[in-house]
Structure 1
């Protein structure tokens, strides 16, 4: 089917505004490619160092000088259930590439912290910044320049975006991403949410809560709700960096190991052919496909930030207006928790990624004429893998959904629009995930209750002060203030207020979570309070209107908060600590980090007063209120 005109128009706009930065990126990648393979440039001493610790057989292969060497960048640790399986993956990869006359080495590791462990804790203030550390550590790993292709091992929230950004700095190479897959299903998601709400109201004890959580998170693999980690996998599929339908295969299966081996062999094959380098796979069109895949499945709000930084790494400039316009024409095809009751295992069983890819292409919502690691075109991603007599084979995915409560065709979607919207007004610009919010809860106009810490907000809830129509405002949570932590600890409390029949909304310059749920939440408000944003001037009792349907976030009946001077409205001051739990190590990050809508990144930040040749062209939607933090 012909491409949807809005998708075509947004893509054309992205191409135009990215013209200079994209051309500069491709020029640099072409120069790196034309300079020859890394191993050909290394001296004998350099090459000997690179293989000193390898087996005799691998050394002999390396001495040949013509055999590809695959660099593995791994985010393995055994505290993250999703990353625990990566412990064995390097051995699977080495064996697979030896069979095709190549070598593989773990080039380096990256940090991989778990948002599930740090929720509500000081460590969460390092979470978003860890993405850029991961990008930098990926660069350190690959800068040995001893590799002909790269394999990225990562799954979770900040890890895949960081690997993606770092790998693009080496986009002259073919790069393949290999995930670990989700854990088997645990207790039903509705039951988990019920116990959390009961605990928030002191109706069950901590032991009951712990038993429920252990029943949910119980084995190696990704958490089974459709949060940021699993949204990552959807985007890597539609971005053309996975082997097809590899995202949601369980870790401890022969099929998972076969897919990992196939990914390694495919990377070697691409290294030999010189085809499908990452710089060609990730383009304006593939970025649009990734956005649409996220929107069509009700994916994580975190990617309203991550995708901007990820695209920028390839010289592609996008913003929330682009996402909002794409969302307006993207059919919502999936209902996966927290946007429904099913988990990702049920989603995969109902048809999964292959069904989504085919439906979006058939409806003209994604570009079919893209380059992927499988070659030209998106059609390979309509297929699914299986094991037949011990061999990996591919077959067409299902043409019809096997459960219409979980997965629907584009001709009969859950909603005619995607799961993410832009809201804006005199409080700034923000995003809201509406796929889990019932229509009757999408418009809230109520007095503000203003807080500077989530602990204070939770205490007000426990004290019974929030059981009314209310817009909970939590400010000084942006990237400059404290690293922009997720605030998911507030979700159960806000849900309880809404379930009592009150109108409730949440407004913050921080993040919520990939698990953003049924309470309307305008998040990532930009500019943030610490950088001169209007949230710094809001007071208790101000009437705020959040209208997700009309795209409005504004005060009602008071003066424009951005006007100067503000005789009666001096800005509140941020309080809190930038010390402890490693936070003091990231002071420089907080000082130079870009706005949320610019990706909240330090990788492409330009110091004040600097105007280098690779500056991002100004975005007319941005208002520069940056101050020293």
Structure 2
């Protein structure tokens, strides 16, 4: 184990000692030596299996076989979740073969950031994570179940399911992925057309043609955004079967992996004699492994908030400093768009998760003494699921990269540090994704141009007002102001200006898309403008220094002058209504800051 990673782990364990102990006490109290439904009255139990078939009713009456909950984010508008339509029956049949029963416990909402980018609905995106966690809690609240299968893929869905998973930590839990869509229009070409559209060189017809050729079938979008970062993190924590993350949907291998996941959760229940409650299985070392893998692959910055939030649900306290110190110790080992030109299918072909696990283990970057749904240790995860004579087996995975432009050769990383830098200064603390930045782009000193809406920057760009070096300051995008929407609309115009030779950067208390990267962006700024952040006092023309090497984020204005300035007022309260936003005021008002997970579920203690 690399000493720096061990040191961060020990720091997290010490910081989390009291909260983790309280958490483990809580889940211990929820455990049962019998099936959980045994505590229900006859009337309760009758309601719980009233709709079951005769065979399942007979099993559930006996009180000696497991009942597995299925919680699914299926809907057929989201390409990543459409394949889940057929999973419940596949799972029920597989669990029945083990002598147990699986019931569809509940569905959770699943919104698509790709549909809502730049739209009013994006204001609900981050808060939907907490809704998903609460919806899952409702599904599991009947106390009928002895284990859980979580079906989810995308941006806020997996983090919401993980918060619920940790909350119900006394239950064994397995996550069941659905896999990426086939590769479509190359990501580099898609980005080029987007910039052409931003410059007015092509019309909407060409843009829609390019987007449709990129997002074109069932399955997860193939760039390495938040959805695929989620899958990587879940597998590294041992909540997926080995190699399950990036197997294509609607294939025999995918279906057999789903069946195997269903059978596996029954092997972890109290009734199996091999009880593995997920809240004990996932510990501080598991969380550190997740962060390390995210950094080693240049994954989505959204996971900084999500890991903090679901770790908190397990009594584990993470902060920006942990990400920063781990990033200094972890080399960048993959190039997947937006950190390169390959997509997730090309990563899979180059060696995929099995090779990544092998490289992380060999480099001493991950804790091997962790528990997973397949037992102790990570060696099983260096294997690859394969169909042999019609049966699912795991074979030894590759030991070297099939494409060193996608997965680096051992000892030859693409960068010596990970894909993330935490910036600190009088403006506050923020996250800078460095993995996709060109050399030198991570340092910029330029005058600010202040906006209070991402659409205003787009208007200024089209008016020709931004052909210069500048730092775009987009404020009042934080959790309490707007629910922290992604400012994805900023990416094409800033990218165009960068390509023209201007030095441009972004500072915002909002988020950027998991697919962004080439423009230096100090995001997730805390404190946010509506919470006393200095960003509310920035004026157009103020000099700002961003240094992604030293970690500096400074507003270069005299302190006496800043003391005399009044913070800008938030004037967009009208945007708290429409498209359902008026229903989320209570949640928005209770969101913690980004460094504590931007979460509304732990308002009593946002430590």
Say how many residue pairs are matched.
Answer: 603
Contact kept? 2:338, 2:516, Cα under 8 Å: yes
Q: Distance in 1 between matches of 2:250 and 2:14?
A: 45
Q: Distance in 1 between matches of 2:279 and 2:400?
A: 34
1:226 and 2:236 equivalent? no
Distance 1:616 1:485, change over 3 A: closer
Measured after TM superposition, the shift of residue 505 of structure 1 is 0.3
409-418 or 511-520, which deviates more = 409-418
Q: Distance in 2 between matches of 1:72 and 1:312?
A: 24
Aligned to 1:267: 265
Q: Counterparts in 2 of 1:439-454, with a 5 A limit?
A: 439-454=439-454
Q: Residues 509-528 of structure 1: CA distance to partner in whole angstroms, max 9, x if unpaired? A: 00001112200000000000
- Within the candidate set 21, 27, 31, 2:19 is matched to 21
Measured after TM superposition, the shift of residue 36 of structure 1 is 4.4
Measured after TM superposition, the shift of residue 556 of structure 1 is 2.1
404-413 or 418-427, which deviates more = 404-413
1:571 and 2:567 equivalent? yes
1:420 and 2:420 equivalent? yes
Which residues of structure 2 form unaligned runs of 5+?
A: none
Aligned to 1:622: none
Contact kept? 1:526, 1:595, Cα under 8 Å: yes
- Within the candidate set 239, 246, 249, 1:248 is matched to 246
Matched residue of 2:329: which SS? coil
Aligned to 2:100: 102
Q: Residues 304-338 of structure 1: CA distance to partner in whole angstroms, max 9, x if unpaired? A: 11111010010000000000000001011100001
Q: Distance in 2 between matches of 1:443 and 1:81?
A: 38
Measured after TM superposition, the shift of residue 274 of structure 1 is 3.9
Which residues of structure 1 form unaligned runs of 5+?
A: 607-614, 618-629
Aligned to 1:176: 174
Aligned to 2:55: 57
Aligned to 2:327: 327
Q: Distance in 1 between matches of 2:357 and 2:69?
A: 29
Q: Counterparts in 2 of 1:156-555, with a 5 A limit?
A: 156-271=154-269, 272-555=272-555
TM-score scaled to structure 2, two decimals? Answer: 0.98
Aligned to 1:626: none
1:558 and 2:558 equivalent? yes
Q: Distance in 1 between matches of 2:122 and 2:305?
A: 16
Q: Residues 89-133 of structure 1: CA distance to partner in whole angstroms, max 9, x if unpaired? A: 001101111111111011001110000000000100000000000
552-561 or 396-405, which deviates more = 552-561
Contact kept? 2:73, 2:108, Cα under 8 Å: yes
Distance 1:174 1:42, change over 3 A: same
Q: Distance in 1 between matches of 2:560 and 2:325?
A: 27
Q: Residues 554-574 of structure 1: CA distance to partner in whole angstroms, max 9, x if unpaired? A: 11253278x6xx22x111111
Q: Distance in 1 between matches of 2:265 and 2:356?
A: 25
- Within the candidate set 69, 72, 75, 2:70 is matched to 72
Q: Distance in 2 between matches of 1:380 and 1:273?
A: 21
Contact kept? 1:301, 1:516, Cα under 8 Å: no
Contact kept? 1:196, 1:492, Cα under 8 Å: yes
Q: Residues 56-89 of structure 1: CA distance to partner in whole angstroms, max 9, x if unpaired? A: 2211222222111110000000010000011100
Q: Distance in 1 between matches of 2:424 and 2:578?
A: 35
Aligned to 1:583: 581
Contact kept? 1:426, 1:560, Cα under 8 Å: no
1:115 and 2:110 equivalent? no
Q: Distance in 2 between matches of 1:290 and 1:109?
A: 26
TM-score scaled to structure 1, two decimals? Answer: 0.95
1:134 and 2:114 equivalent? no
Q: Distance in 2 between matches of 1:345 and 1:390?
A: 23
Aligned to 1:621: none
Matched residue of 1:574: which SS? coil
Measured after TM superposition, the shift of residue 191 of structure 1 is 0.7
Distance 1:207 1:269, change over 3 A: same
Matched residue of 1:484: which SS? coil
Q: Residues 327-367 of structure 1: CA distance to partner in whole angstroms, max 9, x if unpaired? A: 00101110000100000000001001111111111111110
Q: Residues 258-289 of structure 1: CA distance to partner in whole angstroms, max 9, x if unpaired? A: 00110010001111134321012210000000
Q: Distance in 1 between matches of 2:75 and 2:463?
A: 40
Matched residue of 2:440: which SS? helix
Q: Distance in 2 between matches of 1:61 and 1:509?
A: 53
Q: Distance in 2 between matches of 1:178 and 1:59?
A: 26
Matched residue of 1:285: which SS? helix
Q: Distance in 2 between matches of 1:324 and 1:557?
A: 27
**CA-atom RMSD in angstroms:** 1.1
Contact kept? 1:233, 1:247, Cα under 8 Å: yes
Q: Residues 429-470 of structure 1: CA distance to partner in whole angstroms, max 9, x if unpaired? A: 000111000112110110000000011111001111111001
Q: Distance in 1 between matches of 2:186 and 2:516?
A: 17
